[in-house]
Each structure stands twice: as structure tokens, then as C-alpha cells.
Amino acid sequence: MDLVYDFLVKDILKYGDTVVLGCSGGPDSMALLHLLIKIRREMDITIICAHVNHNVRRESKDEYLFLEKYCHNHGVMFEGMEIKNYGDDNFENEARTIRYSFFSDIVKKYNARYLMTAHHGDDLIETILMRIVRGSTLKGYSGFSKVVKMKHYTIVRPLITMTKQELEAYDKKEKVPYVVDSTNFKDVHTRNRYRKYVLPFLKNENPLVHQKFLKYSNVLLQYNEYIEKEMKKIMNKVYNQNTLDIEGFLKLDKIFQDKIIYSILEGVYQDDLFLVTDEHVNLIMRLINSRKANTYIYLPNNIKIIKSYNYLTVTKDTDESINYDIEIDKYIMLPNGGIIEEVESSLTNDNFICRLNSKDVSFPLHVRTRKNGDKMVVKGMLGHKKLNDIFIDSKIPVNKRDMWPVVVDSNETIVWLPGLKKSKFDIAKNEKCDIILKYHF
């Protein structure tokens, strides 16, 4: 912890600075809070402890009160919030967005120079590995930076050189109290599985593996910074005001094409960069090279990429009740986060797979949102059934029904309700068919 202390005192903080600390009350953030209180004695800094009660565990309220009391006893200003409701997005992503929005508000309220978080070396390893597995950008593969310059403040992660074990040892030595989040031990969360099964293996191979990952991260950031400078010189010629000149773009070397697409996505997603994968870049490249003059795709968070002749435009679709109608290609990503792709074969026969014969339906096939009066002939049933009744029977929440994909042919005949029901046009698994569609969600 001495190196962290020296880094903050010599390289970051100045006398009288104001610091906002995002603090969960766990061993990592409590260690950093304790260290900042030590530094306050000689540098007269102001510390604001910002805490978010995620309201998903019975212990959450007690942890909130624990941290509030600790701050009161140590003369630290406390700012807390409770998340009352969550939407339909991925819980971890949504909670992170709410958390950082709150932190940003507190930084502005106190005109703080710094927002500090307790991310440490183990967190960096987990983040890098998760992004390698799911795919990301060059910057994304680096995990996260120790210091990030924002518009009005700076994010600092001073514990990035330390391991969780070292922080827990510091807490024990300094008698720093903390709480333990029981969900950190559940395999349902992806990060927990890396923490429980992958990290112990790596640390057994090399106890200082976190330093290797930190070096890897720094090297990627350095290369990314250099390529970024060269790319910006070129990018300004083909991308302006969220619009890409496709003709000029296609004349560039592949490395700059990829980097420009990644740069566009980084600019759009910013702190949500973890949502970006290689597949998103592939989707955009397919759109650019498509022979269709006017078409579009959706990416996560309702980002809409529109191709119109020689131009590609990036927009944020803010309409909560999005209506879409997309011609089915080999692979399409839907506004609700789902994916429909054409596959060669499948061993499963559930409602996430649809087998069709081209002679039975009219092309092209489309996927769209529901319309008033929509009905389909459900496989194995006589007569038509209203889509609304199917949603009710399947207990689909009302706020999800308007975005649910409906696959129709060119005559507007519903051939599949992905994930819920197949129509009479679905071919049995043991019979011959020439179209197999798969739905991922």
C-alpha cells in the first residue's frame, strides 16, 4: 500500500483537493477510503464517500447504514442513493450505468477534481479475460486504465497495482471493517466464474500474474494511442457529423477500416464499451458492403446504423416503442438484443429453432414488431390464435411485447414467433427442409 500512497501524494493529489470515492463498503473500497483518510491528515483533502444501494439483497440496507456510520465517525461526507426499480436491460450493465451516473452527479455537486474507484489488479485480469473471450476493441482488450481524463474531472484507480489478497491483508493489519457481498460467490455471474476458477489457476502459475496483465494492458494502450493518432488524420476525411463516406472508407487499408469502425463504436458507447464485440464490427462491415441502397441494423442500447446509398449514419433511437421491419439475411441483430441467424443444421427442436421449406412461404422473409390484429396458425393447433393471447399465455411482460420479433413472409403471413411458438409452416426435425433459422437472446 506504500506505493499507492506515494502515487496519490506525489503524482495525483494537491493540497486541498476534493475527491469523490465510489465505495461499496467491501474490503477493496474500505481499504482505499482508509488510505484517503490517512492522506487527509497531511494534505487537507476533502473526501466524499458515494455509495449505491443496489437493493437486490436483504443485507443492502444494513451495508448502507454501516458505511454511513463509518463516514460519520471519521468526518467523511457521505452521499448515498438507493436504486428503486430496474428496467429490462441486463442487470449488471444497468446497475453500472446508474452507479456511474450517480458518481458523476456527486462530482459535479462538490466540484471535485477526482472520482476514485477501488478496482484492483485482480479486477483487471478478470476484465481482460472476459473481453478476450467475448471479443472487443484494441482499447477494450486493455481492460481499464489507471487514470482516465474526463471532460470536467479525472477518474483514478489507484489500486490497480495491488491484488485483492494484499488489500484484505491491509484491512486486517489496520483493523479496517468491511462488509462482504454474498453474491460475489455465486456462479450465476460471469465475472464470479473467472474469479473462482480461472484466477486461482493463473496465480498458481505465477503469483505476480497481475503485474504481467498490467504490463499487457499498458502496452495495448500505448499501441492504441499511436494508431489512434494516425487513424484520426484519415478518419476526419471520411467520417463527419456521425456520417461515414462509404466510397472513401472502402479505399482505406483494412487496419484503418477496422480502427475507424471501432473508434465510432467507442465514441458512441464510451463507458459502455464492454457491450461492443467483434460481431458488431462484422455486422457494420456487412452493412457497408451490402448491395442494398437503403437498409439498417440495430446494435445494443438502441443504437441504429443506417445505410443510405453512399453514406452510413449512426443514430440513437430514443423512441421507447420502436417499430422495426428488417429483411432477414444470414445474420441480423434485433433492437431487443436478440439475434436471428440462418444456420446449416441444428440438433435442437425447441421454439428457438424454425425449419422451413422455401416452397411453402413467400420470399423475402422479414422480422418485424407486432401489429394490431396479428394472428398465426400455431403448429399442432386448428385455426388462428392472436399473438396477444400467446404473449399472455407465455407470461411475457407487457413492456416486452412491443419489441418481440415476429417473422413473416412477403405476404405478411406469420411463420414464426421466435422463442415462443412455431407455425404450421415449421418442418419436423426428421424431415427435409432448406431453411433453418435460429434465435439467440
The arithmetic mean of pLDDT across residues 343-363, rounded, is 93
Domains along the sequence of the chain with CATH: 2-216 (3.40.50.620), 241-318 (3.30.465.60), 326-440 (3.50.40.10)
Residues 205-252: pLDDT tens digits?
999 999 999 999 999 999 988 888 888 889 989 998 889 999 999 999
- What's the DSSP call for residue 378? B
Share of the chain above pLDDT 90, in %: 61
Q: What whole-number distance in Å separates Cα of residue 249 and Cα of residue 245?
A: 6
For the cut 80, the answer to whether the pLDDT of residue 360 exceeds it is: yes
Whole-angstrom CA distances from 132 to 125, 205, 240 are 11, 20, 30
- SS3 label, residue 49: strand
Contact 154, 148 (CB under 8 A): yes
Please provide the average confidence, as pLDDT, over all residues in the chain: 90
Neighbours of 147 (CB within 10 A): 14
Confidence at residue 259, expressed as pLDDT on a 0 to 100 scale: 87
Q: What whole-number distance in Å separates Cα of residue 416 and Cα of residue 424?
A: 9
Query: How big is the chain, counted in residues?
Result: 441
Q: Which residues sit opposite 436 in a β-bridge?
A: 355
Write out the H or E segment, with its range, that includes residue 90.
none
Contact 123, 200 (CB under 8 A): no
- Strand order of the sheet with strand 154-156? 77-82, 46-53, 18-22, 114-116, 154-156, 147-149
Q: What whole-number distance in Å separates Cα of residue 385 and Cα of residue 376?
A: 5
Q: What whole-number distance in Å separates Cα of residue 90 and Cα of residue 134?
A: 16
Contact 39, 185 (CB under 8 A): no
Residues 327-337: pLDDT tens digits?
898 888 888 77
pLDDT band at residue 261 using 50, 70 and 90 as cut-offs? very high
Contact 81, 64 (CB under 8 A): no
Compute the radius of gyration of the chain from its Cα atoms.
26
H, E, C per residue of 144-204? CCCEEECCCCEEECHHHHCCHHHHHHHHHHHCCCCCCCHHHHCCCCHHHHHHHHHHHHHHH
The closest of 306, 330, 328 to 317, measured between CA atoms, is 306
Residues 283-313: pLDDT tens digits?
899 999 988 888 888 888 778 888 888 999 9
Burial call 265-298: b when 16+ CB within 10 Å, e when fewer: bbebbeebbbbbbeebbebbeebbeeeeeeebbb
Which of 64-68, 160-164, 347-351 has the least mean pLDDT? 347-351
Q: What whole-number distance in Å separates Cα of residue 347 and Cα of residue 202?
A: 36
Residues 230-243: pLDDT tens digits?
888 899 899 988 89
pLDDT band at residue 202 using 50, 70 and 90 as cut-offs? very high
Residues 129-167: pLDDT tens digits?
999 988 777 888 999 999 999 989 999 999 999 999 999
- SS3 label, residue 268: helix
Confidence at residue 316, expressed as pLDDT on a 0 to 100 scale: 78
pLDDT band at residue 271 using 50, 70 and 90 as cut-offs? low
Q: Is 226 exposed, middle or buried (0-12, 13-18, 19+ CB in 10 A)?
A: exposed
For the cut 70, the answer to whether the pLDDT of residue 88 exceeds it is: no
For the cut 80, the answer to whether the pLDDT of residue 48 exceeds it is: yes
Cell of 115: 472520482
Q: What whole-number distance in Å separates Cα of residue 335 and Cα of residue 323?
A: 9
Q: What whole-number distance in Å separates Cα of residue 235 and Cα of residue 296?
A: 22
For the cut 60, the answer to whether the pLDDT of residue 320 exceeds it is: no
Q: What whole-number distance in Å separates Cα of residue 349 and Cα of residue 340?
A: 16
For the cut 80, the answer to whether the pLDDT of residue 272 exceeds it is: no
